[in-house]
């Protein structure tokens, strides 16, 4: 555990496995402890197959850990039922996907505002402010397909932050960007998280990304299942 007093993320004894097609059990995650302090920014270095996505899904409550505690903003995601995890995620966790996953039928503003609606409060003004902050203030009504890749990433960043989450998870956030856009997007993500006070956990296999963080954790070492070569 990283020695900080106020943790927004605290994993202890977390294990997650899946049933293989042949019926056997495959362990994907086995993490003894891992935590993240409020406002902290950490990079998780992980090659393909080290359980990156599963870890993020467990933290976000998209899937539930088989054993252990997954505390996110003081709630144990492993102990909540699915609906409660959804509600908690909506309010306290921002998620930036590698492929951005913007809703193609919705404008930039709607993409951001919708995320706030599921948290129970339509923060349209805040969505506008965030989009302006990421340089998209002039393109509020643009559909994603009318935006460049870099612009889509900016919208995704704004969406992750609209509910002022305690924790932002970014899964290969620069994976689809060229070098110039990647640097700009990462800087924007880090800056906006810093400004809003959100902790940031970035998982990436890209050394250029990882090296920009003061605290870097090697997922292959953190995840004992990956170290055993069992992760899928």
Partner 1 sequence: MSARHYSLWLLARRSLRQHSLSTFVTALSLALASGLVMAVLGISAQSRTAFTIESTPFDAVLGARGSQLQLVLNSVFHLETSPGNLPWSAYQDVQKRPGVRAAVPYAVGDSWRGFRVVGTNAQMFDAELLGPRTPRPSVGRVFDETLREAVIGSYVAARTGVRIGDEIHPEHGVDEGHEHDEDYVVVGVLAPTNTPLDRCVWIPIEGMFRMGGHVLRGSGEEYHPQHDEEIPEEVKEVSAVLLAFSSPQVGLELDREFNKSGKDATLAWPIARVMAELFDKLGWMDRVLTLVALLTMLVGAASIVASLYDAMHQRRREMAILRALGARRGQLSRVVVLEATAIAALGALGGFVVYAAILFVARGILREQTGIVLDPTAVHASLALVPLALLALGALCGAIPAWKAYRVEVAEDLGPTS
Q: 2 or 118, CB closer to partner 1?
A: 118
Cross-strand bridge partners of residue 171: 203
CA dihedral 181, 161, 159, 129 (to 10 degrees): -90
Closest distance to partner 1 from the beta carbon of 219 (Å): 11
Minimum distance between the CB of residue 2 and partner 1, rounded to whole angstroms? Answer: 23
Provide, rounded to whole angstroms, the least separation between the CB of residue 186 and partner 1.
Answer: 15
DSSP string, 29-42: EEEEEEEEETT-EE
Q: Which residues sit at the interface with partner 1, rule CB under 8 A?
A: 48, 52-53, 56-57, 60, 62-63, 82-83, 86-87, 89-91, 95, 97-99, 101, 103-106, 110, 114-122, 159, 171-172, 175, 203, 205
d(CA 44, CA 217): 5
User: d(Cα 62, Cα 65) in Å, to the nearest integer?
Assistant: 10
Sheet (strand 41-45) strand order: 93-96, 167-171, 199-204, 41-45, 215-218
Residue that the structure tokens 């954790």 belong to: 217
Closer residue to partner 1, CB minimum distance, 116 or 192: 116
Rounded CA separation 37/158 (Å): 22
Nearer CB in complex with partner 1: 79/120? 120
In the complex, minimum distance from the CB of residue 53 to partner 1, in angstroms, rounded to a whole number? 5
Q: How far is the CB of 89 from partner 1 (least distance, A)?
A: 5
Residue 141: phi and psi, rounded to 5, are: -95, 5
Judged by beta carbon, residue 24 or residue 104, the one nearer partner 1 is 104
| Cα distance between residue 61 and residue 72, in whole Å | 9
Q: CB-wise, 99 or 221, nearer to partner 1?
A: 99
């Amino acid at each position: 555990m990283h020695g900080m007093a106020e943790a927004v993320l605290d994993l202890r004894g977390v294990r997650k496995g899946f049933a293989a097609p042949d019926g056997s059990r495959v362990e994907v995650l086995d993490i003894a402890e891992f935590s993240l302090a409020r406002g902290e920014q950490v990079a998780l270095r992980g090659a393909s197959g080290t359980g990156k996505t599963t870890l993020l899904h467990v933290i976000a409550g998209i899937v539930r850990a088989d054993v252990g505690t997954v505390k996110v903003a003081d709630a144990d995601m492993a102990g909540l039922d699915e609906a409660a995890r959804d509600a908690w995620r909506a309010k306290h966790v921002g998620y930036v996907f590698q492929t951005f996953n913007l809703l193609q039928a919705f404008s930039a503003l709607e993409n951001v505002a919708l995320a706030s609606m599921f948290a129970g409060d339509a923060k349209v003004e805040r969505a506008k402010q965030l989009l302006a902050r990421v340089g998209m203030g002039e393109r509020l009504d643009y559909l994603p397909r009318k935006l460049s890749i870099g612009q889509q990433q900016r919208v995704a960043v704004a969406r992750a932050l609209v509910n002022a989450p305690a924790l932002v998870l970014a899964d290969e956030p620069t994976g689809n960007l060229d070098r110039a856009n990647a640097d700009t997007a990462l800087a924007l993500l880090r800056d906006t998280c810093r400004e809003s006070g959100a902790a940031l956990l970035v998982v990436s296999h890209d050394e250029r990304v990882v090296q920009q963080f003061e605290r870097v954790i090697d997922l292959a070492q953190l995840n004992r299942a990956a170290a055993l070569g069992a992760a899928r």
